[in-house]
Each structure stands twice: as structure tokens, then as C-alpha cells.
Amino acid sequence: MNNQNKSINLGQSAVLLLLVCFIGLIANHIYGFTGANKESMSFFMRLIEGPSSLIGGMAEAFYGMVVIYLISIVGLAIAKYMPFYLPSIAWISLLAILVASPISPVADIVIATTAKVHFLALTTSVLAYAGFAIGQLEIETFKKSGIKIIVIGLFVFIGTYIGSVIIAEIILKSTGQI
Amino acid sequence: MRSLLNPKLHLLVVFIVIISDSIGIHKISLGVGAMILLPLFYAFILATLLNPNVVQASSKIIDKVSVKSSVAFVTIAIMPFIAKFSIGIGPKLNEIINAGPALIFQEIGNLATMLIAMPIAILLFKMGRESIGSTHSIAREPNIALISDKYGLNSPEGVGVMGVYVVGTLFGTIFFSLMASFLASLDIFSIQSLAMGCGVGSGSMTAACSGALVAMKPELEGTITAFAAASNVMTYATGLYMSLFVALPIAEWFYKVLSKKERV
């Protein structure tokens, strides 16, 4: 199979990644705020206090985000120059595992700095973009297939999830892992 | 490049992110179980409502041309998450290697998709070959590439796979977090297995699913993220080949069996 990642534009990706990492820092700060003070503060208090202490809070996670940024861009470069195809996120993932594994000389730094970045905070912007990305294709598909495809889709998710969970449970139990 | 950096789109995204993360995580009790609502959930709904393609009135705030580049940003914005998430495997590498056989075999769990969904598609909804496209896998990008390569996207199989792809894009993330938190609240399966199941879909499905599990069991965050991330890597690395060599041939066979039954 040809490597279709050859067309990745690294310069452009570097700029776009910078933007999403910056948004990630904002999200991460506010997320930390709602996580820690969740019970004691009202939504409006969080909305005021979160953004107003933004600069100091963002500094804390800054180095972690730099590490995450570097892994993402180097992973993309690997995806581009490898002779065979794997999705670019697979390369990013494998690189992240490698630099954080016990054989890595920088594992401690990678783990300690990125501990300040919460993974869920990095997904808020993904879903915001996904909401804006709904276009004609999605709307046409529903006009064509209607409610049927929604029902089938939900059964596909249930089947895949529960199927995987059951197999995992059986094998983990039989190999004595749990 | 300039069209990609349209400030209006990104300012709106920042605005949505601030609102959504300020609302925070909420747990809803349902009697028998519980469900978790995550910030990504609110972000998706807010953005959908502001999307002029969906809500006409929103074109006063942002026009259809300006939201076009968001497709590219979904792919970019998931990368930092994937990096952070996979770092979580590092410290737990031994545990993950010990769970290796489970990680490999649970990829076969994909086949359960078909066993449940295809009979519904054919016997209940009287679907034709669309059912092969829609139920042979969880219909993410690699599966679309495969189906379009083999049958073409305008074929019935292509229409089927695109249908479930769209359902996944619109409801998959939210559905995964609700399904995982509900299943976890029933206390039937171990947290490792529930986390591994999270990795079967796209990056944002994995995120929503494991985020919901972490909200249920915060003290097990390290284990949950490591197992979900490892399973997600396996899916990325093997998903395409699994569909090509295993799922699709079985889907063709199962389709023949079911549609014969239908004719009798």
C-alpha cells in the first residue's frame, strides 16, 4: 500500500497545531478550575474566576503542552516519511508511548510536565470543531436514510463496545490479569 | 492557509470551550445506573447550534464559508489529545504488555458489531447490500477508505458505510460516554475491560468513553487511560487490515445467510 501521508504539509500543520495547543491551554486551565472547585462554586463564579486567572494557570501547564506539541509534530513527520502507511495518529501515539516508556531517558520529564495537562480538556475544542464541521454531506445522508440509519448506527456502537468488553474480560480473567 | 486561520471560527471555538469547561462534568443518576455528561458534549451541541449549515439563523453570527475549515481542524485538534493520552501508557507499560493477548483478541470484538447490527438491518429494516457497508465495522475513516476502494462510495455498500460514519460523527461521541458510564455503573465488568472497549472507535469516541469512566472512578485514572489508549493504538494500527481480511469477508458471508433466510 502506498503511503498516502506523503502529502502532509508539515509547515502548515505546525502552525495549526500551535493554535489548537493554545486553545488546549485555555481549556485545561478552566477544566482544572471546575475539577478542583466543582462543588463550592457556581457556574457563573467559575465563568468569571476561570478566565480572569488564565495567565497564571496557563503557565503551569505550558511545558507539558510544549512536550505534547513536539510529539505531535514529530509524529506527523514520521508519518510523512515512512515508506508504508499507518494513520498519522498511530505514529503520534507510538512515539508518545516510546518517549514515556521506561527505556526512554526523558520519560520522567515527559510524564511530570504533561501531568499538568488533563486529557479531557484537550477534547473540548475537538468537539467544538466537529460541531462546526457538520455540512451538506451529513444533512443529505439523513434526508436519504433517515431514522433507520441512526438505529443501525447505535446498534453498531453497542455491538462493537460490548463485544470488545466481553472478549477483553474473558481473556484478562483466563490469563489471571484481573 | 489564510482561509484556515479565519479568526471568527477560532474565537467562537474559544468561547465555546470556556463555556463548556466552566459547566464541568455532571453525573446523572438513573435508578439502575448512572450517566456522565462531559464538557465535550456541551461543546458539540453549542457548535452545532451555531453552525449555519444546521441552524439558518446562525448565519448572522458566522457564514457557511467560514466554518468550512473546521473539518481540517477536527483532524489536527485530536493530535495533542492522542499524544497526551498515549503518554499514559508509558508508566503502565508492563501491565499493558501482560494484557497483550486481551488487547489483540478484543479487536475481534469488532465482529460482534455485525452479529448484532446486521440481522436488525436486514430482517427488521429490509436493507440490501447497504447493510454490509453499515455493519461490517464501526465505520471510521479507514473503513470508509476500504469500502470506497472496493465498492465505490456511490454503491449501496458505500451509502451504508457513510450513513453509519455520519451517525458516529453526530452521536458517536455522546453515545459512547453514556454507554460506558452506564455499563460501568452496573458493576458487571472490570474497569480494565471497560477501558479497553473504549479504544474501538475514533479518537474522540475513545476520549468521551474513557473520560466518562474516569469521572465514575477517579482513583483509577491511570489504569483507565493506559488501557483505553493501548486499545485505541491497536485499533489504528490493525483496524484497516482487520476489516479487509476478516470483517468484510465475514460480512459478505453473513449477508448471504441472512438474505436467504429473508427470502424463504
Question: How far away is chain B from the Cα of A83, in angstroms, using its nearest Cα?
Answer: 15
**B71 contacts chain A (CB < 8 A):** yes
* Boundary-marking domain end, from A132, A149, A167: A132
* Same-domain status, A77 and A154: no
- C-alpha cell, A78: 514520521
- The domain tally of chain A equals 2
Q: What is the pLDDT of residue B263?
A: 64
pLDDT at A39: 54
Instruction: Quote the CA–CA distance of B141 and A6 in Å, as a whole number.
Output: 17
Q: What percent of chain B has pLDDT over 70?
A: 98
B243 interfacial to chain A (CB closer than 8 Å) = no
- ipTM for the whole complex: 0.91
What does the pLDDT look like over B129-173, one tens digit per residue?
999 999 999 998 888 888 988 999 889 999 899 999 999 988 899
Strand partners, B35: B28
CA distances from B203 to A11, A32, B144, B200 (A): 23, 22, 16, 9
Predicted local confidence at residue B255, as pLDDT: 95
Residues of chain A found within 8 Å of residue B233, distances taken between Cβ atoms: 90, 93-94, 97
Same domain, A139 and A161: yes
Distance from CA of B86 to the nearest CA of A (A): 5
Residue B248 confidence class, pLDDT cut points 50, 70, 90: very high
**Nearest residue in chain B measured CA to CA from A11:** B1
pLDDT value of residue A34: 67
Model confidence band, residue A87 (pLDDT cutoffs 50, 70, 90): confident
Residues A161, A84 within the same domain: no
Task: Give the span between the Cα atoms of B118 and B124, in whole angstroms.
Answer: 9
The tens digit of pLDDT for each residue in B181-194 reads 999 999 999 999 99
pLDDT in tens, B31-80: 778 888 999 999 999 999 999 999 999 999 999 988 999 988 998 999 99
Residue-range definition of the domain harbouring residue A161 = 135-178
CB–CB of B176 and A161 under 8 A? yes
| pLDDT at residue A41, rounded to an integer | 64
pLDDT at A37: 47
Residues A112-138 have a mean pLDDT of 92
Confidence band, pLDDT 50/70/90 cuts, at residue A40: low
What confidence score (pLDDT) does residue A36 get? Answer: 46
pLDDT class of A121 with cuts at 50, 70, 90: very high
What whole-number distance in Å separates Cα of residue B54 and Cα of residue B33? 33
Band (pLDDT 50/70/90 cuts) for residue A177 is confident
Cell of B23: 459547566
pLDDT category of residue B175 using cuts at 50, 70 and 90: very high
Q: Which of B238, B171, B224 has the alpha carbon at shortest distance from B194?
A: B224
Distance CA B246, CA A96 (A): 29
> What beta strand segments (E) does B11-138 contain?
26-29, 34-37
Return d(Cα B105, Cα B170) in angstroms, integer: 29
Chain A residue with Cα closest to B184:
A165
pLDDT recorded at residue A2: 67
Residue B221's pLDDT is 94
On whether both A65 and A33 belong to a single domain, the answer is yes
Per the CB < 8 Å rule, is A34 touching B109?
A: no
Residue among B17, B41, B131 minimizing CB distance to A27:
B17
- Inform me whether the pLDDT recorded for A33 exceeds 80: no
The answer to whether residues A60 and A117 belong to one domain is: yes
What's the mean pLDDT when you consider all of chain B? 91
Asked if A91 and B176 count as a contact pair (C-beta separation under 8 A), the reply is no
Same domain (yes/no): A123, A142 = no
* pLDDT given at position B192: 96
Q: Is the pLDDT of residue B219 over 90?
A: yes
What is the grid cell recorded at A59? Answer: 503557565
User: Worst-scoring range by mean pLDDT, A94-98, A130-134, B198-202, B233-237?
Assistant: B233-237
B190 within 8 A of A172, measured Cβ to Cβ = yes
The Cα A7–Cα A9 span in angstroms is 6
Amino acid A76: pLDDT = 96
- Name the region of B37 (left: φ>0; alpha: ψ -120 to 50; beta: rest): beta
How many helical (H) and strand (E) elements, i.e. helices and strands, does chain A have?
7, 0
Are the C-beta atoms of A65 and A125 separated by less than 8 Å? no
Nearest to B17, CA basis, from A47, A59, A118: A47
Average pLDDT, chain A: 88
One domain, residues A11 and A62 = yes
A94 and A174 both lie in a single domain:
no
